[in-house]
Amino acid sequence: MTEPTRHDQLDLEPTLYEHHVVSPKVYLGVFGALLCFTALTVAASYLELGVFNAVVAIAIAVTKAVLVILFFMHIRYSSRLLKLTVASGIFTFLVLITLTLSDYISRAWGLW
């Protein structure tokens, strides 16, 4: 079929995304990493790190979440539109948290 379809003519947003099949090896690797990080975060919580206990816990959780999003949820192989969608969700989430917290923190400077 040589005639361009309605689809090809949708300029700006090429929708003919090539469908990427992620190999089970990648899944297995991510799976292993997730398990390791779980062990790590449990272990870290038993160490005395001061404020860094929270920092480490959050950092590990974020890493795990990123792994899941990128590989299990295929965002790494998805169109720019989907990547932007995920980013905008996280962005709005951060707006909610930071702007609310900015009020709470500046209500009592230094007491936080």
Partner 1 sequence: MDSQVIATQPTSAHGEHGHSPHLRHHFATVAQQREAASFGMWLFLLTEIMFFGGMFTAYLIYRNWYYPAFVAGSHWMIMWAGTLNTTVLICSSFTMAMGVYSAEMRNRKALLRYLFITLCFGIVFLGIKAYEWHDEWEHHHVPGLNFSINDFTHVDQRYPQDKPLAPDMAEKTQAYFSLYFMLTGVHALHMLVGVSILVVLLFHAWRGAYTTGHMTTIENFGLYWHFVDIVWIFLFPLLYLISRHQ
Partner 2 sequence: MSSTSIVLPDQQTATMPKRSYLNSSYGLKSWLLTLDHKRIAILYLITTVFFFMIGGTAAALIRLNLLTPGGELMSADTYNKVFSIHGLIMVFFFLVPIAPAVLGNFCIPLMIGAKDVAFPRLNLTSWYLFVAGGLLELYTIIWGGIDTGWTFTTPLSTHYVNTHVISGAMGIFVAGFSSILTGLNFIVTIHRLRAPGMTWFRLPLFIWSYYATSIIFVLATPVIAIALALVMLERFTGIGVFDPAKGGDPLLFQHLFWFYSHPAVYVMILPGMGVMSEVVACFSRKRVFGYTAVGFSSVAIAVFSFFVWAHHMFIMGISNYSALVFSLMTMLVAVPSAIKIFNWSSTLYKGSISFDTPILYAFSFIGLFTIGGLTGVFLAALGMNIHLTETYFIVAHFHYVMVGGMVSAVMAGLHFWWPKITGRMYPEMLGRLAASILFIGFNLTFFPQFILGYMGMPRRYHAYPPEFQILNVLSTAGASVLAIGYILPGIYLLWSLKYGKIAGSNPWRAPGLEWQVQSPPLEENFIETPVVDFEAYDFEWLAKHENEVQTVG
Question: Is-contact 75 83, C-beta < 8 A?
Answer: yes
Question: What are the helix (H) ranges across 13-51?
Answer: 24-45
Out of 52, 80, 97, 102, the residue judged to bind partner 1 by CB under 8 A: 97
Considering the rule CB under 8 A, would residue 19 count as an interface residue with partner 2? no
Out of 3, 15, 19, 39, the residue judged to bind partner 2 by CB under 8 A: 15
Torsion of CA 27, 29, 32, 38, to 10 degrees: -80
Angstrom distance (rounded) from CA 97 to CA 105: 12
- Give the range of 25-33, 38-46, 49-57, 91-99 binding partner 2 by CB under 8 A: 91-99
In the bound complex, what is the minimum distance in angstroms from residue 95's beta carbon to partner 2? 5
CB-nearer residue toward partner 1: 1 or 12: 1
